[in-house]
Structure 1
Amino acid sequence: MRIWSLHPRYLDQKGLVACWRETLLAQKVLTGATTGYRNHPQLLRFRAQEDPLAAVGAYLQGLHDEATARGYNFNPTKILVAGSPVAPMEVTDGQLTFEAGHLRAKLEVRDPARIAALSDFPETHPLFRMVAGPVEEWERL
């Protein structure tokens, strides 16, 4: 499961669709609707929020907005908690650097032209706010 901290505009088509599907799975895990992935480290940051489902909903909304801008048809009714105000979640610049490198490696194979979009230091997903720090503790290195 990869729930990117990077802005979804950096993701290629496969990456964006996979992130949508994996975040929907994360939403199911948080509701108790599935037993798989319950202890996945990517979920720790959402579980730490005051309202984890609202945080996942805000994350999914950011993916939906990007998909809509690209002309894709992601179903917004799959977002269980939509439109609730959610405080920005922090993500470290070390985590963003790690994810940008990870994404670059994937894009070199799948969509080399998109790598140019990562030339500047990447922006965060709209849910996140960047702070100084190392790679997040929950990340599997």
Structure 2
Amino acid sequence: MRLWSLDPAQLDRAALVSGWREGLLAQAVLLGRTKGYTRHPQLERFRELDEPATGVITWLAGLADEADRRGYRFDRTRLAGVADETLRMTVTDGQLALEYQHLLAKCDQRAPEWAARLRTEPARPHPVFEVVEGPVASWERAVLP
């Protein structure tokens, strides 16, 4: 499961689509609708919220907005509630940098033209996140080569 902290506009097609699918799984986990993935470390930051499901719904809405801009059709009826436009979470600059490098490595393999474009811009956070100084998150399991 990869719930990107990066701006959905920076995600290539595969990352955007898989992020949607994995975000829907995260929503099901946080609502107690599945027995799998209940201890997945990427869910920790949502569980810290007063309303964890609203957090992931808001995150998913950001992906759906980008899908709309690209002409994709993500089924918003699968969201189990309404996004909270005022919700803000934090992500460290260390975490954002790691995810940016992780995405670049993936795009080098599957979408080199996307990777080349991505290298021309700085990492930006998903609209739900505000960047603060700090190291890679304790829940992160990705290891870069």
Q: TM-score, normalised by structure 1?
A: 0.96
The number of residue pairs the alignment matches comes to 141
Offset from partner CA, 1:52-74 (integer Å, 9 cap, x none): 11111110100000000000000
Offset from partner CA, 1:32-81 (integer Å, 9 cap, x none): 11011000000000000111111111101000000000000000111112
Which runs of 5 or more residues in structure 1 are unaligned? none
The question of 1:121 aligning with 2:122 is answered yes
Distance 1:52 1:135, change over 3 A: same
Q: Secondary structure at the match of 2:124?
A: coil
* CA–CA separation in structure 1 for the residues paired with 2:10 and 2:119: 7
Aligned 8 A contact 2:5 2:91 in 1: yes
The question of 1:66 aligning with 2:62 is answered no
Q: Which letter does structure 2 place at the counterpart of 1:41?
A: P
How high is the sequence identity, in percent, across the aligned residues?
48
Q: TM-score, normalised by structure 2?
A: 0.93
Q: Which letter does structure 2 place at the counterpart of 1:70?
A: R
How far has the Cα of 1:15 moved from its partner? 1.0
Distance 1:132 1:92, change over 3 A: same
